[in-house]
Amino acid sequence: MEKSALQIARAAYQPKLPKALQGPVKAVEGAATQSVGNQDEIKALFPNTYGMPVITFEAGEAKELPSFNVGVILSGGQAPGGHNVISGLFDGVKALNPANKLYGFILGPGGLVDHNYMEITSELMDEYRNTGGFDIIGSGRTKLEKEDQFEKGIEILRELGIKALVIIGGDDSNTNACVLAEYYAAKKYGVQVIGCPKTIDGDLKNEQIETSFGFDTACKTYSELIGNIERDCNSARKYWHFIKLMGRSASHIALECALQTQPNICLVSEEVEAKDMTLNQIVENIAQVVADRAADGNNFGVVLIPEGLIEFIPAIGRLIEELNDLLAAHGADYKDLDKDAQREYILAHLSKENAETFATLPEGVARQLSLDRDPHGNVQVSLIETEKLLSEMVAAKLDEWKKEGKYVGKFAAQHHFFGYEGRCAAPSNFDADYCYALGTSAAQLIANGKTGYMAIGASESVQAWIAASNPLGACAGKMISPQNIAIAVAAIGTVGCEGKLLHFAVKVYIPFVIIMGCIVYFGQSLVG
pLDDT digits (tens, 9 = 90+) for 80-106: 999 999 999 999 999 999 999 999 999
Query: What is the DSSP secondary structure assignment for residue 20, as one 8-state letter?
Result: G
The amino acid at residue 90 is F
Averaged over 484-511, what is the pLDDT?
59
Closest CA to 437 of 17, 5, 19: 17
Q: Indicate the average pLDDT of the chain.
A: 85
Residue 79 burial (CB < 10 Å; 0-12/13-18/19+)?
Answer: buried
Annotated active-site residue 91? The verdict is no
Span between the terminal Cα atoms of the chain, in Å:
44
Q: How many CA within 13 A on the CB side of residue 90?
A: 21
CATH code for the structural domain at 5-213+427-459: 3.40.50.450
Q: What percent of the chain has pLDDT over 70?
A: 84
User: Is the model's pLDDT at 205 over the cut of 70?
Assistant: no
Range 370-404 burial, b when 16+ CB lie within 10 A, else e: beeebeeeebebbebbbbbbbbbbbbebbeebbee
Comparing 37-46, 201-210, 502-511, which segment has the lowest mean pLDDT?
Answer: 502-511
Higher pLDDT pick, 275 / 3: 275
pLDDT score, position 325: 82
Q: What percent of the chain has pLDDT over 90?
A: 54
User: Is the model's pLDDT at 458 over the cut of 50?
Assistant: no
Q: pLDDT tier at 475 (50, 70, 90 boundaries)? A: very low
Considering the candidates 91, 172, 201, 216, report the single residue annotated as catalytic.
201
User: Is the model's pLDDT at 126 over the cut of 80?
Assistant: yes
User: Is the model's pLDDT at 379 over the cut of 70?
Assistant: no
User: Is the model's pLDDT at 462 over the cut of 50?
Assistant: no
Closest CA to 385 of 419, 334, 346: 419
pLDDT score, position 360: 80
Closest CA to 73 of 182, 198, 159, 184: 198
pLDDT score, position 470: 41
Tell me the CA distances in angstroms from 278 to 19, 283, 287, one per residue in order: 50, 9, 14
Closest CA to 205 of 244, 250, 248: 250
User: Is the model's pLDDT at 156 over the cut of 80?
Assistant: yes
pLDDT digits (tens, 9 = 90+) for 400-432: 999 999 999 999 999 999 988 899 999 999 999
Residue 42 burial (CB < 10 Å; 0-12/13-18/19+)?
Answer: middle
Cα–Cα dist 496/489, whole Å: 8
pLDDT score, position 130: 95
pLDDT score, position 93: 96
**Most distant pair of Cα atoms in the chain: their distance:** 83
Q: Count of CB atoms within 10 A of residue 89's CB?
A: 30
Cα–Cα dist 71/500, whole Å: 67
pTM of the predicted model as reported, rounded to 2 decimal places: 0.80
Adjacent-strand bridge partners of 303: 242, 265
Most trustworthy range by pLDDT among 60-69, 153-162, 172-181:
153-162
pLDDT digits (tens, 9 = 90+) for 63-79: 888 999 999 999 999 99
Helix (H) or strand (E) holding 284: helix 279-295
Domain 215-423 belongs to what topology? Rossmann fold (3.40.50)
pLDDT score, position 33: 86
pLDDT score, position 399: 96
Range 193-216 burial, b when 16+ CB lie within 10 A, else e: bbbbbbbbbbbbbeeeeebbbbbb
Higher pLDDT pick, 482 / 116: 116
Cα–Cα dist 484/425, whole Å: 36
pLDDT digits (tens, 9 = 90+) for 291-327: 999 999 999 999 999 998 988 888 888 888 888 888 7
Averaged over 223-236, what is the pLDDT?
96
Averaged over 381-385, what is the pLDDT?
72
DSSP assignment string, 389-434: HHHHHHHHHHHHHHHTTS--S---EEEEEESHHHHTSPPPHHHHHH
pLDDT score, position 422: 92
Cα–Cα dist 96/62, whole Å: 9
Q: pLDDT tier at 208 (50, 70, 90 boundaries)? A: low
